[in-house]
Amino acid sequence: MTVNSSISREELQESLETRTVEHTHDEAANSMFGFIVFLLSESIIFLSFFAGYIVYKTTTPDWLPPGVEGLEVREPAINTVILVSSSFVIYFAELALKRHNMWGFRLLWLTTMMMGSYFLYGQAVEWSSLHFTVTSGVFGGMFYLLTGFHGLHVFTGVLLQLIMLVRSLIPGNYDKGHFGVDATSLFWHFVDVIWIILFLLIYIWQ
């Protein structure tokens, strides 16, 4: 009777542990699904802006503001290379975390943050050197809307990365899962893809 009771307790405990693991897995999967839906909604917003930009560019007679012949491409191209390269860096940071290499994760994660911050700095420098404002016709309004809205997403991504970096300093914080890191990394890839499209539309297609 005692043996059977002990076995029953062990089986019950194993069953509870199994259900807990499955519940944790389902919760993480559901959270990631919800985050992907969020990114899809963000994609629709950006796509509507891109569509508006194309329509205005192809239908507005005097597209560029008076005195503006075009946009400088060199510095934005450098910023583009840095931002796109950061996607590879954050990918390797994720791999380091999955291999429980915390110092490697922190170093690569911090490098990604620095690359994102440099991109924002480069954009601020570009804005300060432009000879048109948000009120300089349709082009001025669309330019600052698109680059500013994207810059806001880059800034948000850097803040999320900072939070994940601080959380990595808590011992054992990522032992049971790292949804926050995965979601932040996915968000960063999204921001990079959006910028590639934006760069082609605004800087290459002039």
Q: Domain containing 52: what range? A: 5-204
Provide the CATH number for the domain around residue 22: 1.20.120.80
Residue from 197, 165, 169, 171 nearest 184 by CA: 165
Q: Is the pLDDT of residue 5 over 60?
A: no
Percent with pLDDT over 70 in the chain: 88
Specify the DSSP element, H or E, that contains 28.
Answer: helix 2-59
Residue that wins the pLDDT comparison between 190 and 23: 190
Alpha helices in 60-202 (DSSP H): 74-98, 102-129, 137-168, 179-199
Q: Is the pLDDT of residue 16 over 80?
A: no
Residue from 111, 61, 65 nearest 88 by CA: 111
Angle at CA 69, nearest 5°, toward 66 and 70?
120
Give the total number of structural domains in the chain.
Answer: 1
Tell the burial category of 169 from Cβ atoms under 10 Å away from its Cβ (0-12, 13-18, 19+): exposed
- pLDDT for the residue 173: 83
- pLDDT for the residue 56: 94
What integer is the mean pLDDT of 177-183? 89
The region that residue 96 occupies, defined by phi over 0 for left and psi between -120 and 50 for alpha, beta otherwise, is alpha
- pLDDT for the residue 25: 56
Summarised one tens digit per residue, pLDDT across range 25-59 is 577 788 889 999 999 999 999 999 999 999 999 99
State how far the alpha carbon of 33 is from the alpha carbons of 24, 153, 164, in Å.
14, 20, 20
